[in-house]
């Protein structure tokens, strides 16, 4: 890592310099490298590419506490804060409002986001065989623990199933995303979503940490496998947000993981006078994988994200 060699069986924490703040303070990427005693795959685990999404930090902390490099095959590269600028201002973005996850693979002389993306690609992604990128919901929304990935790639799908989050959502690649940059390097990338920005969500952290360890086990990196899955994940190829048709105060009536059917009321929206009130009904069948956390809504605001599943999966509860 950089010019630094890490002995087998050791965990080391390094700092890769990124840039200085206007105050002169040096900002660096915090990188933990667990180097196993036997050769094996190199897997990166990253979080806080969006600087306000914090569950991934706790996932990485939990994974590193449970990982013994003396019983590891291969190498784990953990970067708990990728957006080192966003994290200090509790912001999703870089100081110039650029989205780091639209800035990959980056360049050494572009905007700050591009330079940070470039550093990550050169120092972390290029050395890895598999990547796991940890996120949460954004903009006052919370997400059911879920993997988003390319289900059409067999190895990616195998790893996504091994992760064991309740839902796997097929997601096409977006330009500038870390997943797309991983694909260009031939590296399968799983994107984990769970919980909401700014907050820790214990359940999402637990599912995330177990999932990361299960992926390590499925790659033959661990001596002992984590506990077996109690429930096979369901796969969805499409998700749709149900939106507000008018502004008001929203009383959502569905929870994450809940199965909903066509015609079901998912929210009541009423205005400040109390004179106008209407029910928002679903036209979809599926599982709630994301929901708004805030009460105030404007016309067109996203309320409930529904993963559309096969009929067989609709009978399951989560
Ligand atoms: Zn994110």
CATH of the domain at 191: 3.40.630.10
Cβ(287)–Cβ(234) below 8 Å: yes
Residue 2, domain member (yes or no): no
The CA 92 to ligand 1 mean position distance, Å, reads 8
CA of 203 to the centre of ligand 1 (A): 18
Report the separation in Å between the CA atom of 194 and the middle of ligand 1, taken as the mean of its atom positions. 10
Same domain, 158 and 199: yes
Is 85 domain-assigned?
Answer: yes
- 69 in any annotated domain: yes
The last residue of a domain, from among 218, 248, 282 = 218
Residue 216 belongs to what H/E stretch?
A: helix 202-218
* pLDDT for position 309: 82
Q: Cα–Cα distances in Å, from 101 out to 11, 98, 117, 163, 164?
A: 28, 9, 8, 22, 24
Domain-embedded: residue 226: no
- Whether residues 44 and 143 share a domain: the answer is yes
Which residue, among 147, 192, 144, 159, has the nearest Cα to 306 in the 3D structure?
A: 144
30 lies in the same domain as 109: yes
C-alpha 136 – ligand 1 centre gap (Å): 6
Q: What is the pLDDT along the chain (318 residues), one digit of tens a residue?
A: 666 788 999 999 999 999 999 999 999 999 999 999 999 999 999 999 999 999 999 999 999 999 999 999 999 999 999 999 999 999 999 999 999 999 999 999 999 999 999 999 999 999 999 999 999 999 899 999 999 999 999 999 999 999 999 999 999 888 999 999 999 999 999 999 999 999 999 999 999 999 999 999 999 999 887 877 778 899 999 999 999 999 999 999 999 999 999 999 999 999 999 899 999 999 999 999 999 999 999 999 999 999 998 665 655 655
From ligand 1's centre to the CA of 292, what distance in Å?
15
**Boundaries of domain holding 103:** 10-218
Report the separation in Å between the CA atom of 135 and the middle of ligand 1, taken as the mean of its atom positions.
Answer: 4
Report the distance separating Cα 242 and Cα 281, nearest Å: 8
As for how many domains the chain has, the answer is: 2
Q: How far is CA 27 from CA 30, 56, 81, 122, in A?
A: 9, 20, 11, 18
From the CA of 100, how far away is ligand 1's center (Å)? 9
Q: Check which CATH number belongs to the domain holding 290 and give it.
A: 2.40.50.100
In a domain, 223, yes or no: no
Q: Give domain status of residue 70, yes or no.
A: yes
């Amino acid at each position: 890592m950089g010019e630094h060699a890490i002995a087998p069986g050791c965990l080391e924490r390094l700092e890769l310099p990124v840039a200085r703040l206007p105050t002169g303070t040096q900002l660096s990427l915090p990188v933990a490298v667990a180097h196993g005693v036997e050769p094996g795959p190199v897997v990166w685990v990253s979080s806080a590419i969006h600087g306000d999404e914090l569950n991934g930090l706790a996932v990485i902390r939990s994974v590193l506490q449970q990982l013994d490099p003396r019983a590891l095959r291969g190498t784990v590269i953990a970067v708990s804060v990728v957006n080192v600028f966003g994290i200090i201002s509790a912001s999703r973005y870089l100081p110039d409002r650029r989205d780091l996850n639209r800035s990959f693979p980056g360049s050494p002389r572009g905007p700050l986001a591009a330079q940070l993306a470039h550093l990550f690609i050169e120092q972390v992604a290029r050395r890895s065989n598999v990547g796991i990128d940890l996120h949460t919901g954004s903009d006052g929304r919370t997400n059911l623990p879920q993997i988003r990935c390319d289900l059409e790639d067999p190895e990616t799908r195998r790893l996504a199933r091994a992760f064991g989050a309740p839902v796997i959502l097929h997601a096409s690649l977006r330009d500038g995303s870390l997943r797309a940059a991983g694909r260009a390097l031939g590296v399968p990338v799983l994107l984990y979503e769970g919980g909401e920005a700014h907050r820790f969500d214990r359940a999402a952290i637990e599912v995330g940490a177990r999932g990361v360890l299960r992926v390590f086990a499925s790659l033959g990196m661990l001596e002992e496998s984590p506990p077996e899955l109690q429930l096979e994940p369901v796969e969805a190829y499409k998700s749709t947000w149900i939106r507000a048709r008018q502004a008001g105060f929203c009383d959502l009536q569905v929870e994450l993981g809940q199965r909903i059917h066509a015609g079901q009321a998912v929210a009541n929206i009423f205005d400040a006078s109390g004179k106008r009130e209407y029910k928002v009904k679903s036209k979809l069948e599926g599982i709630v994988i994301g929901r708004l956390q805030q009460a105030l809504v404007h016309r067109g605001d996203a309320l409930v994200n529904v993963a559309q599943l096969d009929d067989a999966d609709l009978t399951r509860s989560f």
